[in-house]
Structure 1
Amino acid sequence: MESVSSGPVGPGRTRSHRLVEVEVGRCLLLDVSVAGRRLRLINTYRPQSGLGRRTLLRELQQYLHTSIPVIWAGDFSQVLNAADRSGRFFDKHESHFLKNMLQQADMVDVFTHDGRVGKHTYHCAGKSSRLDMAFVQSGEVFTEVEEVLVDYSDHLALSFLLGASSVPAKGRGLWRLSAESLEGEAVRHSFEALLQLELTRTMLFDSMSQWWEEAKESFRNFFHKLSVVREGNKYKKYLSLRKKLESYISDGVAGDKVSQLKLLIREHQYSRYRSLVLERDYGGFHFPDPFRNCRESVEKKVITGLKDSQGIVQTSKGGILRVVQAYYADLFKSKALEGEKIKAFLEGTPGPDLQNLDFSSLVADITEDEVKMAIDQLHLKKAPGPDGLTAEFYKTFKDLLAPILVEVFRDCLGGGVLPPSMRLSSLVLLSKGKEPSDVKNWRPIALLNTDRKLLAKVLFSRLILFSGTLLSHEQFCTVKGRSIFGALLSIREVLETCKAQSSRRYVVGLDQAKAFDRVDHQYLWATLRKYGIPDQFVEWLTVLYREGESFPLVNGWRGENFRVEAGVRQGCPLSPLLYVFAIDPFLRAVQALDLEGFRAPRCLPLKLVAYADDVTVVVSHPEEVNLLTDAIESYSEASGSLVNTDKSEAFWTVEGEPDFPLPDFQLASKEISILGVKFGREDNSKLNWESKLDAVNARVQRWKKWRLSYRERVKLIKTYLVPLLLYVSFVYPLPEAFYARIHSLFFQMLWGSRLNPVKRGITYLRTKEGGLDMLCPVAFFGTIFLKFNFGHLGQRTEVLWQSSVRAWVSPFVGDWLQGDRVKQVRVRHSHLPSYFVLGLKLLRRWDIRVDDLGTASRRALYMRVLDVYFAIPLALRDCVGNTLVRSLRFLNSKRSTEIAPGDVVWRSPRSIFCSIVPWQRVCALRSPELSVLRSWTPWAMRNWPMVCRPDSTATTTRRCTWLLRYIGTIYGTGDAAIPLVRM
């Protein structure tokens, strides 16, 4: 396949799919199949003016983001680098826009790739430039790159041979109902009519589940035809608008008519989001929307090659699918376990107290209210199963479908088997961040059909009510009132107490290989019966897993079906709860062993902590090692699980050599990572926060260059930076040594550089008060730690970590517990952990009382600390503060979009926002009110004479226009807080 001259062309059989003239005479797009390969060819002849070039690029940008390979070539009338032009000044700002587009679309310059020096393609009057360029997507293979002299043009032609891509071709994936297909009353009425028609056919089927299978197929066909008709109508409308535009241009029509017609054409062109539907099964590519670029990159989701059982890397579509299918077909195959070992293990393990437990609610008939509640709990914008019917579909027609689903579910559970579509799932793989060629380093997720999820949610909502009573206290997953932070804080207290008291013992983290996928169904059902779950409910659960099938969906390609006879499906709402029931006998068996464990005041000794399959055990003496390994072996033989001792780690809690070895476990020398938090022998607060801030810094340095408004930057900080730090803030507070660094990172992201043109305290103000509603990291993460760790001190609880915290801080908070302020704490050279010292300092520094922690919400506590200790009012000169605040609130309140007669509409140069200012009030503006600009930026000081020069009405108008333009550059889009007093 060859690309030649100033536009992409190629030999071989071709078939055109779509032709789009992005701009008449300037840019042509062609979706075509060349030699059996689908391509998008874009030919560009960009205008001479910089404004025209940028306008064309903005229109073209959406077409670069698609699942098919893109070749973009032509005469760009500009250069990318200084070396591409001789004899003229290089405008780096103009090339910056094009470079950003290429980076976001993950495209490379063919003629400068891998260090190649591109030749200048245009020569004139002793000067030359490289104006002709060709770009392809990263991963494409191209050879024989050369610039060719031709006699039919004053430019050199570009030629290169495009070969097979190093990235596997992407498939179309599975059909998925789009949200826009559900919009409109006409769609609702048509679907209601279709449903009523289908209901008249129920007598033709032996069961409601059989009817439901056929009905779903009718639903799919209905919405598929609807989407085809809609897209066809849009394309016809687009073609008619395009013809009308061509006639306007031929007749010499210009002005508003042409501009409005171009706007309509842009609206009717298919958007980048519809073209990206093809990539839904493996994530988005590089989006023009920077917020989408914040997410996981596509390289972590596309599988380029996998090793088969012989160690040979398979890179073809069929080879990759065969590797995945063979591996998971074997993994999900039922293992031949001995029933006697299962029985012996369960009988020898202590069980829960079943007295006074009424399980009748588990086996009651499914009700319509339960189904509606399950539908309400569905998350939107989630990938559906093979039938393509999304959560949005069930939510839109909830009242119509809920009564039908009740009958279908009752029929399925009573008949003992699910219909074929509810038994089938697609298996997608997510990277674990390790060696990508090993199939074991990909996490399988089962995409189940939504109706099957709803049935699982109904059963889950019943079983979860008994989890707190039936499951052991050491399990923190899927139990009401417990969370992952309870497990982390329990481990933290064990290690910190051992460090303070020089208590010598091991903390062992057990690694279970493919924990969810190896659960044996026979063992699981036996465990549930041991825990008193009624046989009828257990039978309902077996229905969900009986005759289950799945197929791999890799890079958008579908593989062959295989049976699923073991494991709990990751992606099913019931799976976490079923797994914790499966592992609970092992936890009880370890708890019953003669282990010393860790003892907190007024609590039973803690021997282990578990969150799902992450189990951490405390080993204090050599004789306890054999007890633990015997328990692991018994559990593995009975359940089919596999504890990987090679990957399990043991951590010695104090400095020096361990007193006794653990031969079957790896020894962690400096630190151990448990549930995503690092624990070592030094200051764990600094250990965790330093690594997290390094990750934040890497993102800030990349993201701060993006062209975003300040409001968008604040939103990006809250959406993508804060979650990186939120998890660890529950366990360890932000160290004081990192205050300056975290402020620097957050405000670099806000302003795009280290220069802060506005005082930080002003940015913390709400938008109605003239701020940016910026998050204060010190106050935010500090109040999170205080609320979670100290909020219980006013109560008496028997939770281990809470009792341990109370024992640490009780000598210092006696008066505070009585409602007084925390006294000054001096704990030099003490064994009190550093994070508690900092917590006490924050309680005193921010004057937080015990009632505040106990009753106020976390947000209310944060806002109080922010307002009192961090936010500062606008620095005003010659302007009354109350007047300004009232004016800001008025300007930021919801205002009528209608423009009354006599009003003047002011817009920033980019039409970022619109502020309605009555003409009489414009004339009444005085320079003292405008002096608020002095507190915002040096720009106001430089331009103060121009802004505040009193003159005629015309000058006042220009003055206000400048003011609004300035505010537009500060605030960007949205209902901006405008620091302007309206008289």
Structure 2
Amino acid sequence: AKREAKKAVAKAKSDRYKAVYDMLDTREGERAVYRLVRARHRSTLDMEHTKIVKGADGAVLRRSGQILERWREYYNHLCNEEFCHPPIPTVPSVEGPVLPITAVEVSAALAKIKSNKATGPDDIPADVWKLLGDRGSMWLATLFNKIVAEGRTPDVWQTSVTVPVWKGKGDIADCTSYRPIRLLCHTMKVLERVLEARLRKIVSVSLNQCGFVKDCSTIDAIHVVRILLEKHREKNRSVHLTFLDLEKAFDRVPHELLWMPMRSHRVPEEYVWWTKLLYAKPTSVVRCAVGTSRPFPVQVGVHQGSSLSSLLFILCMDTITKEIQKQHPWTLLFADDFMLAAESRDDLQKQVQSWKDQLQQYGLRLNTSKTEYMECGPRIEDGSIRVDGTELNKLCANCLCCHDHIHIDDCICKKFVRARD
């Protein structure tokens, strides 16, 4: 019996290894390898279950009550304070009726939601609705139509659980090193998927945008920049690049800025109203290794963890920067990370200052400490460009002086991959 058991185990292992090897030959297999490597690396850092955190004064907090209150204090400040800005311009609305939500749309939305995901405050996973099949889709369609008709969502939809997720860099005990991922009610996320599908049929974003756009990724952006550099290298001409980074972009978007781009893209006012319902009076709690904090309001920013947030954000970026974007490939966008290019340093400096001023008009702020400058060409000059008197960090100075295009390409790849992650 023992011998037969060993044979069965060996055969199972062999079959499993064969399946893994076959998967590694596919595109999805390559992604799986990188995910496994990152997961193994994170498991050695002890950041997912860290039970200490630094206070605002830098002192290490160890008591559970102090830690929970620190997390609440940090996210309460982050999610309720806007950067100073003038009033958001008003845009005429597009009035008119829209079609009711159908069971077919709900089924398509459910198919796009992954299974076995963490649930929100109502503790109802999307898998429940998937198991109910057509009957569940019809019931949800009726519920959604009733919600938009009455103009009120279930109270639990306005709550969420904020889970701090380490960014993979920075001090593990520092709150700023964590990204706030919100666990939302899955039923609400189904409605978001339905709304997102309808909006994507109406709106169109700039060709310069590579983030959250179908059939476009960081690979396309990297390829475009490489071609730009190669063309200038062939002609022995210089090209100057800057990589702009926004400060807490997703967490600092004023809610008024979410409605304006939708109206600018001729989205029916009814859909704007649906979106407002999802942001009526949101609150959240912080869940970490030591427990769950008291609730706090969320008056600024989009929900990180929502399928609709990515579309709303790139619509904002497309609308407020439309007038200052250069033709592709001189301007590239990946959500909240931008690349600007020019053939002279002076021209690039004017562009960067213009972007900084334009973003500030809408309550967004350029993070000059993470905004970087790159110069590629036969002659590399000293210094860097300035933004409001602050000199930007210059990338790959040693590599560029040696005209090592391999290192330049590698540096560009890292910038765009960092933006994607």
Q: Common fold, TM-score beyond 0.5?
A: yes
- Deviation sequence 1:298-349 (CA, Å, 0-9, x none): 7131233222222222122222211111111111115386564x229x89xx
Q: Does 1:666 align with 2:403?
A: no
CA distance in 2, matches of 1:489, 1:395: 39
| CA spacing shift, 1:660–1:586, aligned 2, 3 Å | farther
Contact 2:130–2:136, Cα closer than 8 Å, also in 1:
no
Q: Does 1:367 align with 2:102?
A: yes
Contact 2:396–2:408, Cα closer than 8 Å, also in 1:
no
Contact 1:586–1:631, Cα closer than 8 Å, also in 2:
no
Contact 2:241–2:342, Cα closer than 8 Å, also in 1:
yes
| CA spacing shift, 1:669–1:293, aligned 2, 3 Å | closer
Q: Which residue of 2 aligns with 1:406?
A: 141
| CA spacing shift, 1:585–1:421, aligned 2, 3 Å | same
Q: Which residue of 1 aligns with 2:353?
A: 629
Q: Which residue of 1 aligns with 2:184?
A: 448
Gaps of 5+ in 2: 6-35
- Deviation sequence 1:22-70 (CA, Å, 0-9, x none): xxxxxxxxxxxxxxxxxxxxxxxxxxxxxxxxxxxxxxxxxxxxxxxxx
Amino acid in the other structure paired with 1:377: K
Report the 3-state secondary structure (helix = DSSP H, G, I; strand = E; otherwise coil) of the residue aligned with 2:197.
helix
Contact 1:651–1:671, Cα closer than 8 Å, also in 2:
no
1:588 is matched with which residue: 322, 330, 336? 322
Contact 2:349–2:386, Cα closer than 8 Å, also in 1:
no
1:426 is matched with which residue: 142, 161, 169? 161
| CA spacing shift, 1:687–1:316, aligned 2, 3 Å | farther
Contact 1:499–1:681, Cα closer than 8 Å, also in 2:
no
1:293 Cα deviation (Å)? 7.4
Q: Which residue of 2 aligns with 1:397?
A: 132
| CA spacing shift, 1:328–1:681, aligned 2, 3 Å | farther
1:623 Cα deviation (Å)? 4.5
| CA spacing shift, 1:535–1:417, aligned 2, 3 Å | same
Which is greater in Rg? 1
Contact 2:71–2:286, Cα closer than 8 Å, also in 1:
yes
Contact 2:95–2:269, Cα closer than 8 Å, also in 1:
no
1:484 is matched with which residue: 204, 218, 234? 218
Amino acid in the other structure paired with 1:581: L
Contact 1:509–1:650, Cα closer than 8 Å, also in 2:
yes
Over the matched positions of the two proteins, sequence identity in percent amounts to: 25
| CA spacing shift, 1:291–1:687, aligned 2, 3 Å | closer
Q: Which residue of 1 aligns with 2:52?
A: 305
CA distance in 2, matches of 1:685, 1:659: 19
CA distance in 1, matches of 2:397, 2:37: 37
Q: CA RMSD in A?
A: 3.3
Contact 1:589–1:631, Cα closer than 8 Å, also in 2:
no
Q: Which residue of 1 aligns with 2:26?
A: none
1:497 Cα deviation (Å)? 2.4
Q: Which residue of 2 aligns with 1:435?
A: 171
Contact 1:334–1:520, Cα closer than 8 Å, also in 2:
no
Q: Which residue of 2 aligns with 1:549?
A: 283
Contact 2:226–2:409, Cα closer than 8 Å, also in 1:
no
CA distance in 2, matches of 1:501, 1:401: 62
CA distance in 2, matches of 1:292, 1:669: 25
Aligned residue runs from structure 1 range 441-840, under 5 A = 441-467=177-203, 470-555=204-289, 557-591=291-325, 606-621=329-344, 622-638=346-362, 640-654=363-377, 656-658=379-381, 661-664=384-387, 665-670=392-397, 681-684=403-406, 688=410
Aligned residue runs from structure 1 range 345-364, under 5 A = 363-364=98-99
Q: Provide TM-score, normalisation by structure 2.
A: 0.79
Report the 3-state secondary structure (helix = DSSP H, G, I; strand = E; otherwise coil) of the residue aligned with 2:251.
helix
Q: Which residue of 2 aligns with 1:9?
A: none
CA distance in 2, matches of 1:504, 1:551: 51
Aligned residue runs from structure 1 range 38-437, under 5 A = 294=40, 296-297=42-43, 299-333=46-80, 335=82, 340=87, 342-343=88-89, 363-432=98-167, 433-437=169-173
CA distance in 2, matches of 1:605, 1:687: 19
| CA spacing shift, 1:570–1:455, aligned 2, 3 Å | same
| CA spacing shift, 1:559–1:474, aligned 2, 3 Å | same
CA distance in 1, matches of 2:49, 2:228: 41
Report the 3-state secondary structure (helix = DSSP H, G, I; strand = E; otherwise coil) of the residue aligned with 1:397.
helix
Contact 2:384–2:393, Cα closer than 8 Å, also in 1:
no
1:498 Cα deviation (Å)? 2.7
- Deviation sequence 1:638-690 (CA, Å, 0-9, x none): 2x211101210000112543377412322113389xxxxx9x9424289749x
| CA spacing shift, 1:663–1:555, aligned 2, 3 Å | same
CA distance in 1, matches of 2:60, 2:123: 32
CA distance in 1, matches of 2:118, 2:164: 13
Amino acid in the other structure paired with 1:320: I
Report the 3-state secondary structure (helix = DSSP H, G, I; strand = E; otherwise coil) of the residue aligned with 1:616.
strand
1:528 Cα deviation (Å)? 1.4
CA distance in 2, matches of 1:586, 1:494: 26
CA distance in 2, matches of 1:671, 1:585: 38
| CA spacing shift, 1:393–1:479, aligned 2, 3 Å | same
Amino acid in the other structure paired with 1:486: D
1:399 Cα deviation (Å)? 3.0
CA distance in 2, matches of 1:306, 1:507: 37
Contact 1:422–1:449, Cα closer than 8 Å, also in 2:
yes
1:436 Cα deviation (Å)? 1.2
| CA spacing shift, 1:339–1:401, aligned 2, 3 Å | farther
| CA spacing shift, 1:392–1:554, aligned 2, 3 Å | same
Q: Provide TM-score, normalisation by structure 1.
A: 0.36
